[in-house]
Amino acid sequence: MTTGPGISRTPLPKGFKAGGVNSGVRRYRPDYGVILSETEAVGAGVFTKNECKAAPVQYCMGLLPSKHVRAIVTNSGQANAATGQEGRDKNWRMALSVSKTIGCLPHQVLTASTGVIGKQLEIEKLEEAGSELVEKATDHAELFALAILTTDLVPKTITTEVELSGGKVRITGICKGSGMIHPNMATMLGYLLTDVELSTDVAQDLVRKAADVSFNMISVDGDSSTNDCVFLLANGASGVALKDDADYGKFRDALFDLSKLLAQSIARDGEGASKLIEVQVNGCHDLDLARKAARGVTVSPLVKSAIHGEDPNWGRILARLGAEGVPASSLDQMQLTIQDHVLFKNGAPVEFDKTNVRSSLRADTIQIVIDLNSGRENATAWGCDLSKRYVEINTDYN
């Protein structure tokens, strides 16, 4: 990784530009962002499974995968969800106005929104800001990353380079996570941009798999948004393709690693969070169960509160595993480790030095490893602790 989240300017892959401006929807800060590809890019995406899908999500699901993407435009402050036909019309106008400035067809412009549910877009402001947005786009990711933030504290961008047999390619990831100035949802938006050549099939497969090991394994509060989406754009501007399995493997691993880092940065920046919690469920007989169990532990308010209090309360973890359906036979032979301290083994608690373990929980990253010793499937999920600040943010936001 050449550039970490928010550390310095993050260069984009060849042929991409990105920008962000203030459209006037929010008072001061950038609230309207665009990613541009000079040429038509292959685009793929994965979207929220929430039945209540925002207008931009409905729109993009109808368009992707595609070989003709020229831009993704994103506004923050208004989610354009639960806004009916009027919302769909305004989403279309958002794509249309940007397409005019670029000089492409409207459905070559993808859209995303994040913000308050149930308010209609202030589309006139966005339409007016459209040309400035496109014109001021630069070759780095920061302005866009800023424009899509809500109550996130830190813009989240990473760029990495991969050496393939045909030459170097670049992948840039940008995302935003939990919360809003007027918070409604922990909406997650992710953008993966690369200058490698990909077919639509491979792009679609890769974005789904990348999301499954990263963005789909994080939780701030277990509430699933109306607006979540992860996009992958591949414009081929490097002139390099995935020639063989080795190339594919290298590219995939780099994409997955970058996606995981982005996902972790979202969890760490969760509303009120002071700690990143990583939960590994290893040795499970079933992958879906391993994923469900790992996520279950990261979602549990009792586990999250205990970690916030720096207490090694393994009983809450065990109880949650059972609640998620980990069979009693697995629980009887499992080993539970927190920060390298074994607390539970072979179905029974292990004596441990509480002072020692507690002090290890002062770290800002907490690792919980559950080895079920009953199969080969592993899953890792990330979450954050539950603090009074979370309740404050979500209670006193008016």
Q: What is the smallest separation between the CB atom of 119 and a second copy, expressed in angstroms?
A: 8
What is the rounded distance in angstroms from the CA atom of residue 393 to the CA atom of residue 55? 26
How many contiguous H segments (helices) and E segments (strands) does the chain have? 12, 14
Q: Which is nearer to a second copy, 231 or 314 (CB)?
A: 314
Write the DSSP symbol of residue 107.
Answer: G
* Binding to a second copy, residues 313-342 (CB under 8 A): 313-316, 318-323, 325-328, 331-332
Tell me which of 24, 106, 118, 375 binds a second copy, using CB under 8 A.
118
Q: Does 81 bind a second copy (CB under 8 A)?
A: yes
The distance of Cα 23 from the centroid of its chain, to the nearest Å, equals 25
Active site residue 187: yes
Tokens 């990711």 appear where? 141
Q: Which is nearer to a second copy, 105 or 391 (CB)?
A: 391
Tell me which of 117, 148, 234, 262 binds a second copy, using CB under 8 A.
117
x-or-dash string of contact with a second copy, 221-240, rule CB under 8 A: xxxxxx--------------
Q: What is the smallest separation between the CB atom of 310 and a second copy, expressed in angstroms?
A: 9
* Binding to a second copy, residues 292-311 (CB under 8 A): 299-302, 305-306, 308-309, 311
Q: Does 356 bind a second copy (CB under 8 A)?
A: no
Angle at 20 between CA 186 and CA 39, to 5 degrees: 105
Size of the site for a second copy (CB under 8 A): 64
Q: What are phi and psi of 185, to 5 degrees?
A: -155, 150
Alpha helices in 158-244 (DSSP H): 200-213
Nearest CA to 335 out of 343, 326, 327 is that of 343
What is the rounded distance in angstroms from the CA atom of residue 130 to the CA atom of residue 292? 42
Instruction: Report CA torsion sign: 199, 247, 139, 188.
Output: positive
> Residue 86 is which amino acid?
E
Tell me which of 185, 263, 276, 384 binds a second copy, using CB under 8 A.
185
Q: Does 249 bind a second copy (CB under 8 A)?
A: no
What is the rounded distance in angstroms from the CA atom of residue 106 to the CA atom of residue 103? 9
Nearest CA to 169 out of 99, 229, 236 is that of 236
Per the omega criterion (within 30 degrees of 0), is the bond before 65 cis?
yes
Q: Tokens at residue 153, please?
A: 């504290």
Q: What is the smallest separation between the CB atom of 181 and a second copy, expressed in angstroms?
A: 14
Q: What is the smallest separation between the CB atom of 57 and a second copy, expressed in angstroms?
A: 11
Q: Does 116 bind a second copy (CB under 8 A)?
A: yes
Tell me which of 135, 347, 356, 363 binds a second copy, using CB under 8 A.
347
Q: Which residues are catalytic?
A: 187
Residue ranges binding a second copy (CB under 8 A): 49-53, 79, 81-84, 86, 116-119, 183-185, 221-226, 299-302, 305-306, 308-309, 311, 313-316, 318-323, 325-328, 331-332, 344, 347-349, 386-388, 390-392, 394-398
